[in-house]
Structure 1
Amino acid sequence: MRKPRKKSFADLVNENKQALMMDAEAINAIEERIESRLEIKRMDKAE
């Protein structure tokens, strides 16, 4: 049986970059939700 070909360093770097970009998008979405909730709470207190 042959060993599967190891991934090149560049392939691993690209995979990590893609994973980080996906994480960054998720974090940004969470931050936007938190900010909008804080704004709603501030508006409720102002009334």
Structure 2
Amino acid sequence: MRVTSLKFEQLVQENKQDILKDNQRLSEIEARLDKKQADFVKEERNA
């Protein structure tokens, strides 16, 4: 039983780490999109 519990806990920790990495990646993508949108709006105003 302990081995199964340990495997489960390890999977939970790995999933948490994956979610944190995904969250960070999404934040980076959102920041890039925000910058591109702001640059686009600036270009449109200057056109």
After TM superposition, the runs of 4+ consecutive aligned structure 1 residues lying more than 3 A away are none
Which stretches in structure 2 are left out of the alignment for 5+ residues?
none
- Matched with 1:32 is 31
2:40 equivalent to 1:41: yes
TM superposition score normalised by structure 1:
0.80
- Tell me the TM-score normalised to structure 2 length: 0.80
Say how many residue pairs are matched: 43
The CA distance in 2 between the partners of 1:12 and 1:30, in whole Å, is 27
Q: Distance in 1 between matches of 2:7 and 2:18?
A: 17
